[in-house]
Amino acid sequence: MVEIRFHGRGGQGAVKASDILAMAAFREGKEVQAFPFFGVERRGAPVTAFTRISQEEIRIHCYIYEPDVLIVLDPTLIGPIPLTDGLKPNGKIIINSERDSNSFIFPDTENPTIFTIDCSSIALKYGLGSKASPIVNTAILGAIAKVTGLVSIESIIEVIKERIPLYKEKNALAAQETYECMCV
Amino acid sequence: MVEIRFHGRGGQGAVKASDILAMAAFREGKEVQAFPFFGVERRGAPVTAFTRISQEEIRIHCYIYEPDVLIVLDPTLIGPIPLTDGLKPNGKIIINSERDSNSFIFPDTENPTIFTIDCSSIALKYGLGSKASPIVNTAILGAIAKVTGLVSIESIIEVIKERIPLYKEKNALAAQETYECMCV
Amino acid sequence: MSNKTKGQKIKLTLPIEEVMSPGHLACQGCGATLALRYTLKALGRKTIMSIPACCWSVIDGPFPYSAAGVPIYHCAFETAASTASGISHALAQLGQDNVTALAWAGDGGTFDIGLQALSGAAERGDNVIYIVYDNEAYMNTGIQRSSATPHGAWTTTTPVKHYKRGPKKNIMAIMAAHHVPYCATANIAYPEDFIRKVKKAKNIMGTKFIHLYAPCPTGWKHPPDITIQVARLATLTNVFPLYEIDNDVYTINKKIQKAKPVSEYLKLQGRFRHLSEKEVQFIQRTVDQNWKRLLKLEEAFRNEKN
Amino acid sequence: MSNKTKGQKIKLTLPIEEVMSPGHLACQGCGATLALRYTLKALGRKTIMSIPACCWSVIDGPFPYSAAGVPIYHCAFETAASTASGISHALAQLGQDNVTALAWAGDGGTFDIGLQALSGAAERGDNVIYIVYDNEAYMNTGIQRSSATPHGAWTTTTPVKHYKRGPKKNIMAIMAAHHVPYCATANIAYPEDFIRKVKKAKNIMGTKFIHLYAPCPTGWKHPPDITIQVARLATLTNVFPLYEIDNDVYTINKKIQKAKPVSEYLKLQGRFRHLSEKEVQFIQRTVDQNWKRLLKLEEAFRNEKN
Amino acid sequence: MKKVLTGNFAAAYGATAAKVNVISAYPITPQTTIVEILSEIVADGLLNADFIKVESEHSALAACIGAQAAGARTFTATSAQGLALMHELLHWATRGRLPIVLANVNRAMAPGWSIWADATDSVAQRDTGCMQIYCENNQEVFDSILMSYKIGEHTELLLPTIVNLDAFFLSHTSQIVDLYDQETIDRFLPSYNPEIKLDIENPRAFGGLTSPDYYYEFSYKIQLAHEKAKEIIEEVGKEFYRFFNREYHLSEPYRCDDADMILVDYGTIAGTAKDAVDRMRDKGIHVGVLKIRYLRPFPEEQVIDILKNAKKVGVIDRAISYGHEGPFFTEVKASLYGYRIPIYGFIAGLGGRDVSIVDIESMVDYMQGNKPANHIWIGLKK
Amino acid sequence: MKKVLTGNFAAAYGATAAKVNVISAYPITPQTTIVEILSEIVADGLLNADFIKVESEHSALAACIGAQAAGARTFTATSAQGLALMHELLHWATRGRLPIVLANVNRAMAPGWSIWADATDSVAQRDTGCMQIYCENNQEVFDSILMSYKIGEHTELLLPTIVNLDAFFLSHTSQIVDLYDQETIDRFLPSYNPEIKLDIENPRAFGGLTSPDYYYEFSYKIQLAHEKAKEIIEEVGKEFYRFFNREYHLSEPYRCDDADMILVDYGTIAGTAKDAVDRMRDKGIHVGVLKIRYLRPFPEEQVIDILKNAKKVGVIDRAISYGHEGPFFTEVKASLYGYRIPIYGFIAGLGGRDVSIVDIESMVDYMQGNKPANHIWIGLKK
Amino acid sequence: MSKKNDEKVIVIQNGDDMPSMPASMGSMKINKTASWRSIRPVIIEEKCKRCMICWKFCPEPAIRPEDPPVIDYDYCKGCGICIEECPFDAIVSEKEGK
Amino acid sequence: MSKKNDEKVIVIQNGDDMPSMPASMGSMKINKTASWRSIRPVIIEEKCKRCMICWKFCPEPAIRPEDPPVIDYDYCKGCGICIEECPFDAIVSEKEGK
Ligand SMILES: Cc1ncc(C[n+]2csc(CCOP(=O)(O)OP(=O)(O)O)c2C)c(N)n1
Ligand SMILES: Cc1ncc(C[n+]2csc(CCOP(=O)(O)OP(=O)(O)O)c2C)c(N)n1
Ligand code: SF4
Ligand code: SF4
Ligand code: SF4
Ligand code: SF4
Ligand code: SF4
Ligand code: SF4
Ligand SMILES: [Mg+2]
Ligand SMILES: [Mg+2]
């Protein structure tokens, strides 16, 4: 079982991203689970979401304490929130940031691989959200597909087209683009 | 412990009578209990009430199945209702009726003593209730005091004066009169 | 009224069929009982009722019997309207559109504990006739004040020393504020008028409301034989005017030429016995004011479509 | 508004004291939050509030913090009025008559689930100010229809295909029907008027009711920066007129010379995006009718004591 | 001062003697006279309280909650449907830590409409966190109301109490009640002075959003308070004895010391059972009665202590938890877990069916001649 | 057809698949999406039902009661405060013998406000006579709603059912759910056709005054129905298996056969506990899980059967009956009466506190190293 | 429903005779309320103008609108409304019973 | 309450630090909402006419009515109302953050 934890802010779409990831894995025959830590939903407030992907039935129903993969939709969360708590040794961290992955250091982690990608710009390029608050969830999914190999980008794109109510195409393109420009 | 069961119709004051009897006995230092079988209170509907009088604490809280004394405020109840059920052998029955006590026969009882007294007329004489529905409860209390000796007529009258909101005097006189003309 | 003698055909001013049966448990001279008798004459047997806790939960009789002659759901005190909403939607879903869903509640179940459910049904426009038979107190529990109890009245919770202060809640104004398609007052002393209103309501879609005046000899402390008289006087004194509001248009059905003094109405009832002359005058003034208010409303909200 | 430059004394049109603190959890541009800010400016710190479930149960902040600056009892959703009644009677019994009991609820907690408690308090005349901040839906649970949702609006329970039909419940008419000593509409875009009304209410005994218009950018789908604009337009289009009813006397506080077309108001908000031209016209007609109705009421129920 | 009073009068006088500041209640048969008497008492100026005559039980308890939170001592009374309608707010009173006292007349739940005795109404509130007392007689009603304020208001408790009395069998039954003298009562029960309340000098928000970080601990505090309550109830019971010469505990054994068979019961059935026990003892049957006064906190320790040596135990429930068994039966069985005393669950008296001495004897008969069973229905017309 | 769905979707789709005629519900976090989805489904014409958008939960259930009594199949959904507000009417649905199905999202009761998982809301309805299911996953939510109609509508039962799902842990958790095909579902669950209903052809008054002469017997009938329900639930479970190849029972043991220690639990904790069991088994600890699906009727026989050979039993309650202990714990203990298996009562996860595998392991640790206790609070910040 | 059916006495000897919920099985016509009556209204045929106002206002209803109207003494509770309301004083009150 | 007091951080380490019921112990001022902001309103002093309309309509409130008004960027959520409402276009929107 692979466990993925998403960190974002209300409005960025972390919950939806965790869901789409699960659905994409489901298309590929996996057992899946996705759920948010539902705080008091307000714009800007920190949001956590979880995805589990497994070959076997997933029975567990608690938060993810030891994720294999961490997704950070908003780099301003780094610092205020102990994002990396419990990250498994050799875990992966994908951060939406224009900065270089080397510029991020997480002292309490064991040998993580850090990836950054500027999802905000890509989202804006496709007109997703406003400049002030780009909606980066579809963009980051492409990066997840690439980095983790848990699901194919095709599955991601199909689910996006199925589940995203507005701007299906643009969202799909955003995912495609991060998939492509993410260097692993 | 002496157990008294009252049978009347809604509006005649059977419940009040059972209460006053208990209060009178209380004045005389007895332990007491009085309560109605509370059906759906509507004018004219049959009503049952109970009084227990004892030297000792009364703990029991169920209906009276084997009364020592039966009080019938309305003779038209005789027949439709199995009034005398459970009456103890040698029990007493006091009936509000102008008829002679001999005219009443209760087959399923063991050697009861039957008393009749025309409380309706006495109540009317003192202007208690209307011709159509005289309020006979205070009148019958005098008879009870006389027949059972459980309480003195003085106690009955004091309680009447204390507890009856209207026409205290007249009610007291009604009780006094039945007490006096009741031949035991 | 012409003289009729044996053999002549009898003319009846009300439908002849008795849906409600005798043998019920109402007190002698109960206005609430006449109320349902008339209602079912108007609606007939294709009616399903919800009845919350109220005198009618007793009047109807205990299990295994019933006096109403139509199906009744005895529902929780708060739920006359919401239960009827449910019935009405079920009927619609099950294709029984020809059956009327009738909510039948006392003033307590309507003005107080059931108001919210009624307001909700009215807002949604559920297809229900709601009739409140108003006897101005909680009678079934033994005469406690409700918000329909008029100023000045004694009840067991507004004892003589603390008799009810403040006006009766204006339920008609409240229902009019909901802009229901039809609402009306009615009085058991005027059964023809009442039956006309019920029949009218039956043919309107949406939530219809009738505020029906139904004296209670037991609670009002008047002899049972003058129930009709008391009821009639309520209208003749303008204590309880008859009017209807049809799509926001007001019509006063009975304009009394010269209203009788309210004191005539009050003095028949034990519940007002303690009132001082001054208090009676105050009540008279209030009645006059309310009447004027009603006239103004009629004036302001007449049919403009013509 | 005169030009002022550095050093000049600043004139403020509202009380300067901020009782409500920043740091609260309202969305950006939340009208409901401005609403309480103004209310507490008017009432000051000698105020005890009941707040039922609503956005404000979140806005105020989680344990162990609070943003309001005055004591709050976060009460059950149905009980804004009844809890405040209890508070008010306790204050009276404990000799704290100088403290105001304020019930502060959303439209859902007022028009729907809390209506009965409010009606009861009003009927009893409990000494409470009741303010409903109306954002025309259940926002705290994520934008479901309430009976304050206007005709035409999208909400999650009135999806575009099934958008809300039927008018907004007329809560002012309902409260007026209760003959409360004072009730008024107000709008966060007109804080001076609102604060005047709250202060007036504070000095009246009995149940006072204020229906306060408070746009919600999140639920109405408009950008947060135009909250005031949207609110202002509601009044300038006569969608939400400002008026008060003082002892049954109607006064319209703001008579718009030439009301703007309703479409200007509607088009700012995503929740009305799906409306056809015909539907917009219908809404315009309804607004016009309601406005006429209000004028008539003002006409019919002016101060007669003069 | 002794008087012959119905249970409802005793309840109303109890609230009066406790000098409550705010009353809010709604009429319902057979509680109605409580409301009526209090209306009179307040109207007559004999109690300086505000009586809020609300439009529903829901508002009745809400008003008490508001008033109590603002520092008033409050009282309400209800029955059956009314109590059920308060359900949400009973949780509220508990979690809000408001020592409101509520007199409940035990009546059967509708439908069909029934106004007669049945404890299912209040037993169904056992998970709301309110303390609950079941009274045997009218004196106990009066005394319990007084004690409940003292107990509930204890700073370590702050818990509401439901004082239950059986419909008609107490509510409308006249018995002798000692009302004591008010001065002594005032000494026993000083006025209410909560530390934390709605207070403009120290503005706090009560009951705001509470995240998973804190909620659990608040819950724990309530449970702690209940545990503590078991002590305080016994302590206040002792104090009550010193003041008024009457003894009260969480539970009350009667002739249990040498009993082979013990009947566990509550409410008025306990009284009848005592008489039945005497009668059976006269016939040589060694029976005892354990009356449970407090359903919450549940006197597990006392129950074990008294029952552990019995040869057989029967529990008489005038209530039922459908789909399982009598609720007191369950709780007693759970308390006795680990013991192997045969235990019988009797269901009796639902909907006002009378429970007579003969009925109780028949239960003992049953216990003598049959294997244990979980719900034995007494007097059923099968 | 399989889909990835949240528990709330599963609930809404369950009602849709059951072709309910009337829906009446009121929004409350975290149930809200159920109401929203059903609004869409009805608006889109995918379900031919009337959705009554009432002004409170009280009216929601009242409307269902009216509609169901008139012969419609009805559905409602709520959570916490909403369920509590329905309390009176839950009794009504039971005593009126109306097989309404209600989905309840288990959420903590206020105050303080909490929207997170806690089963106290529904457990506190255990005495209302409604059947109650606790679901472990979204498939079970969907399946339980379908089965609940079939079971509840059985002519010998006529009982309402509350189908519970944990806040967020199911309501907002996406999982794979097989929705089957509608034709098969229609065969499994034919339309509702009650024998007795509001019917102008046969006018009856429902729920009128019922004297002590009859009330008791009506109560008995409800209890009989619950007893019968235990059979019918198993039968319908078998039928469900035949139709849809999924097995359901009153309760469900997991690796209990050879277990020394068995953890009894319900809802989502059961799932986590299964994983914990596997992990502990790997470490050589012989643990099993007994998941209780039905709180009412309570599967006493199955509980005994499965637990009787365990060396130790622990019960995990995400609920508490203040003043006593975890309610499932009480009921399990009562069922096991007479046995002497050490039994531990754990309180965990109230107010949404997460219950992790580690927490469950710590319970087993506790059981290994300590004497039994009645309420052991897991993860308390003391 | 025929009259006979209306007055059907429902005999319940045990639970099996009862439906699952308290749903009525017969009419309250079974319940002869005559015993409630303490005065008896008697129509004086000669005075009666057949206006049927008595019928209209009887709350039981215990008057049949025949020619002349017939009071059903099985049910008349003796409220006296008909006596009060008869515009022609054609109904008189008699003392009931012994 | 002093400002300092207002922003008191309540430290709860265990149940003993909590009152018996969830009654608040401090002000939400503790909660700096600056992070919610994606645009930053900036007052252009020269253009500002001190009408205080910005102060009036700030929902936080995050504007102090000084001369000129001062925006408290600890709390301003960047809703933009002040920008919209300033009658003199004296407030401009700047992009927030990095
Ligand atoms: C929840 C609830 N509260 C209280 C009652 C008790 N109750 C039954 S009927 C009634 C009064 C009804 O008054 P109203 O609606 O005016 O009808 P009436 O009895 O006057 O006909 C009351 C208070 C109840 N059944 N349910
Ligand atoms: C009994 C009950 N039902 C439902 C809820 C869920 N709930 C909480 S707030 C809310 C909506 C409030 O709407 P409104 O009163 O308009 O206030 P707003 O959220 O819009 O500020 C709902 C439905 C609840 N807390 N209690
Ligand atoms: S109390 Fe009044 S309303 Fe009720 S049955 Fe008697 S007369 Fe009718
Ligand atoms: S949802 Fe609307 S009302 Fe609620 S806090 Fe956000 S903006 Fe304010
Ligand atoms: S009211 Fe009088 S006149 Fe008219 S029909 Fe009856 S008895 Fe005859
Ligand atoms: S007395 Fe009353 S009940 Fe009898 S017939 Fe006349 S109106 Fe009817
Ligand atoms: S609104 Fe504009 S002009 Fe007025 S004070 Fe604010 S910044 Fe200055
Ligand atoms: S942007 Fe909004 S929050 Fe910031 S100062 Fe302006 S009005 Fe206040
Ligand atoms: Mg009434
Ligand atoms: Mg709202």
CATH assignment of the domain containing C33 = 3.40.50.970
For residue F148, being part of any structural domain is answered with yes
Quick one: pLDDT band at residue C4, thresholds 50, 70, 90? very low
- Subunit partners of chain A (3 or more CB pairs within 8 A): D, F, H
The reported pLDDT for the residue numbered A42 is: 65
CA distance E85 to chain G (A): 22
Q: Where are the alpha helices (DSSP H) in chain H?
A: 3-6, 53-57, 81-85
Nearest residue (by CA) to ligand 8, atom 6, is: H82
Question: A73-87, C288-302, D113-127, F291-305: lowest mean pLDDT where?
Answer: A73-87
Other CB atoms within 10 A of residue G72 CB:
15
Is the per-residue pLDDT at A48 higher than 50?
yes
Give E26: exposed, middle or buried? Use CB within 10 Å, 0-12, 13-18, 19+: buried
Residues of E within 8 A of D92 (CB-CB) are: 50
Q: Which of F244, F265, F289 is the last residue of a domain?
A: F244
* Interval E153-157 mean pLDDT: 98
**Separation of CA C209 from chain center:** 9
* Interval A4-30 mean pLDDT: 94
Q: Where are the alpha helices (DSSP H) in C189-276?
A: 191-202, 217-220, 227-236, 262-266
Distance separating alpha carbons of residues B137 and B12, to the nearest angstrom: 6
Q: Where are the alpha helices (DSSP H) in chain A?
A: 14-27, 119-125, 137-148, 153-163, 168-181
Instruction: With beta carbons less than 8 A apart as the criterion, state whether E212 and F113 touch.
Output: no
Say which amino acid occupies E205: A
Handedness of CA H26, H29, H35, H36 (dihedral sign): positive
Distance separating alpha carbons of residues C196 and C253, to the nearest angstrom: 11
Quick one: pLDDT band at residue D3, thresholds 50, 70, 90? very low
- Which residues is D97 bridged to in the sheet? none
- Backbone φ and ψ for E325, nearest 5 degrees, come out as -165, -170
How far is residue E178 from each of residues B29, B32, E3, E4, measured CA to CA in Å?
13, 13, 6, 9
**Separation of CA F291 from chain center:** 12
pLDDT by residue for chain H (98 residues), tens only, comes to 445 567 889 999 999 999 999 999 999 999 999 888 888 999 999 999 999 999 999 999 999 999 999 999 999 999 999 999 999 999 999 987 54
- Backbone φ and ψ for D274, nearest 5 degrees, come out as -75, -5
Instruction: With beta carbons less than 8 A apart as the criterion, state whether D88 and D126 touch.
Output: yes
**Separation of CA F73 from chain center:** 19
Structure tokens at F277: 């069991």
For residue C2, being part of any structural domain is answered with no
- Which residues is A71 bridged to in the sheet? A6, A94
CA-derived radius of gyration, chain C: 19
Average pLDDT, chain D: 95
My answer on whether F167 and F267 are in the same domain is: no
d(CA C187, ligand 5 centre) in Å: 21
Quick one: pLDDT band at residue D85, thresholds 50, 70, 90? very high
CA distance C4 to chain E (A): 47
pLDDT tens per residue, range F20-32: 999 999 999 999 9
The reported pLDDT for the residue numbered D2 is: 42
Is the per-residue pLDDT at D67 higher than 60?
yes
Task: State how beta strands B31-37 and E174-178 pair.
Answer: antiparallel
Structure tokens at B110: 């063991």
Is the per-residue pLDDT at E166 higher than 80?
yes
CA distance E379 to chain G (A): 11
pLDDT tens per residue, range D24-37: 999 999 999 999 99
Quick one: pLDDT band at residue D303, thresholds 50, 70, 90? confident
The reported pLDDT for the residue numbered D139 is: 97
Question: A74-88, A93-107, D86-100, E126-140: lowest mean pLDDT where?
Answer: A74-88
Structure tokens at D301: 């129920």
My answer on whether E165 and E313 are in the same domain is: no
Is the per-residue pLDDT at C1 higher than 80?
no
DSSP state at residue H9? P
CA distance F112 to chain H (A): 6
**Separation of CA E44 from chain center:** 29
More confident position, E294 or D302: E294
Cβ G35–B44 below 8 Å, yes or no?
A: yes
Is the per-residue pLDDT at F139 higher than 70?
yes
Query: Domain total for chain C?
Result: 1
Percent of chain E with pLDDT over 90: 99
Instruction: With beta carbons less than 8 A apart as the criterion, state whether D147 and D112 touch.
Output: yes
Is the per-residue pLDDT at C3 higher than 50?
no
Q: Where are the alpha helices (DSSP H) in chain D?
A: 31-43, 55-59, 80-93, 107, 115-124, 171-177, 191-202, 217-220, 227-236, 262-266, 277-300
CATH assignment of the domain containing A27 = 3.40.920.10
Task: Encode burial over F160-190: b for 16+ CB neighbours within 10 A, e otherwise.
Answer: bbbbbbbbbbbbbbbbbbebbeeeebeebbe
My answer on whether F169 and F293 are in the same domain is: no
Structure tokens at E168: 């008609």
My answer on whether F124 and F153 are in the same domain is: yes
pLDDT tens per residue, range C44-79: 999 999 999 999 999 999 999 999 999 999 999 999
Cβ D144–F32 below 8 Å, yes or no?
A: yes
Task: Encode burial over F234-258: b for 16+ CB neighbours within 10 A, e otherwise.
Answer: bebbeebeeebeeebebbbbbbbee
My answer on whether F47 and F99 are in the same domain is: yes
User: Smallest Cβ distance to G18: which of F206, F208, F217?
Assistant: F217
My answer on whether F38 and F108 are in the same domain is: yes
Identify the structural domains of chain G with CATH numbers, from first to last.
33-98 (3.30.70.20)
Nearest residue (by CA) to ligand 3, atom 3, is: C216
Q: Which long-range contacts (CB under 8 A, 24 or more apart) does D300-304 make?
A: D300/C296, D300/C297, D300/C299, D300/C300, D300/D250, D301/C293, D301/C296, D301/D245, D301/D248, D301/D249, D301/D250, D302/D249, D302/D250, D303/D249, D304/D249
Query: Domain total for chain A?
Result: 1
* Interval D262-268 mean pLDDT: 98
- Backbone φ and ψ for C131, nearest 5 degrees, come out as -115, 125
More confident position, F333 or B135: F333
pLDDT tens per residue, range B65-105: 999 999 999 998 888 778 999 999 999 999 999 999 999 99
How far is residue B166 from each of residues B161, B170, B172, D185, measured CA to CA in Å?
9, 9, 11, 53
For residue F368, being part of any structural domain is answered with yes
- Which residues is A96 bridged to in the sheet? A117
Is the per-residue pLDDT at C6 higher than 70?
no
My answer on whether E294 and E227 are in the same domain is: no
My answer on whether F170 and F260 are in the same domain is: no
For a mutational test of ligand 4's pocket, the pick from D20, D30, D230, i.e. the residue with the most ligand atoms closer than 8 A to its C-beta, is D30
User: Residue C131: in which H helix or E strand, if any?
Assistant: strand C128-134
Is the per-residue pLDDT at F56 higher than 90?
yes
Average pLDDT, chain F: 98
Query: Domain total for chain E?
Result: 2
pLDDT tens per residue, range E71-94: 999 999 999 999 999 999 999 999
Handedness of CA F163, F165, F167, F171 (dihedral sign): negative
Per-10-residue mean pLDDT, chain G, length 98: 69 94 96 87 97 98 97 96 98 79
For residue C13, being part of any structural domain is answered with no
Distance separating alpha carbons of residues D79 and F81, to the nearest angstrom: 12
Task: State how beta strands D100-106 and H63-64 pair.
Answer: unpaired
Quick one: pLDDT band at residue B38, thresholds 50, 70, 90? confident
The reported pLDDT for the residue numbered B42 is: 66
Structure tokens at D59: 């806005």
DSSP state at residue C302? S
The reported pLDDT for the residue numbered B9 is: 86
User: Is chain E in touch with chain H: ≥3 Cβ pairs within 8 A?
Assistant: yes
- Subunit partners of chain G (3 or more CB pairs within 8 A): B, C, E, F
Q: Which of F244, F271, F292 is the last residue of a domain?
A: F244
Domain assignment of residue F124, given as a range:
2-244
Task: Encode burial over D118-139: b for 16+ CB neighbours within 10 A, e otherwise.
Answer: bbbbbbbbbbbbbbbbbbbbbb
**Which of these, C166, C203, C160, C150, lies nearest to C181 by C-alpha position?**
C203
SS3 for D129?
strand
Domain assignment of residue D264, given as a range:
21-305
Residues of A within 8 A of F169 (CB-CB) are: 35, 61-62
The reported pLDDT for the residue numbered H96 is: 72
Q: Which of E182, E209, E244 is the last residue of a domain?
A: E244
At which residue do the structure tokens 């709350």 appear?
G59
Instruction: With beta carbons less than 8 A apart as the criterion, state whether E334 and E283 touch.
Output: no
pLDDT tens per residue, range F157-179: 999 999 999 999 999 999 999 99
Residues of B within 8 A of E173 (CB-CB) are: 33-35, 61
The reported pLDDT for the residue numbered G98 is: 41
* Interval C78-103 mean pLDDT: 98
Average pLDDT, chain A: 92
Task: Please state the atom number of ligand 5 nearest to the C-alpha of residue G55.
Answer: 6
Residues in chain B: 184
For residue C201, being part of any structural domain is answered with yes
Cβ of C23 under 8 Å from any chain B Cβ?
A: no
Cβ C24–G25 below 8 Å, yes or no?
A: no
Q: Which residues have C-beta within 8 Å of that of residue D102, sequence separation ≥ 6?
A: D39, D43, D47, D48, D49, D50, D84, D128, D129, D130, D131
For residue F382, being part of any structural domain is answered with no
What residues flank ligand 8, with Cβ below 6 Å?
A: H 41, 58, 60, 62-63, 71, 76-82
For residue F330, being part of any structural domain is answered with yes
Quick one: pLDDT band at residue D306, thresholds 50, 70, 90? very low
Domain assignment of residue A118, given as a range:
2-181
My answer on whether E268 and E234 are in the same domain is: no
Among H31, H37, H46, H64, the residue to mutate for chain D (most D Cβ within 10 A): H31
Cβ D89–E63 below 8 Å, yes or no?
A: yes
Structure tokens at D162: 């099934």
The reported pLDDT for the residue numbered B12 is: 86
Distance separating alpha carbons of residues D37 and C225, to the nearest angstrom: 61
Distance separating alpha carbons of residues D137 and D108, to the nearest angstrom: 7
Task: Encode burial over A24-50: b for 16+ CB neighbours within 10 A, e otherwise.
Answer: bbbbeebbbbbbbbbbbbbbbebbbbb
SS3 for E253?
strand
Structure tokens at H78: 């960047």
For residue E21, being part of any structural domain is answered with yes
Say which amino acid occupies E252: E
Distance separating alpha carbons of residues C39 and C23, to the nearest angstrom: 18
The reported pLDDT for the residue numbered C8 is: 59
* Interval F75-95 mean pLDDT: 98
- Backbone φ and ψ for A172, nearest 5 degrees, come out as -60, -40
Chain E: residue whose CA lies nearest to C155: E36
Task: Encode burial over E230-250: b for 16+ CB neighbours within 10 A, e otherwise.
Answer: bebbbebbeebeeebeeebeb
My answer on whether E209 and E273 are in the same domain is: no
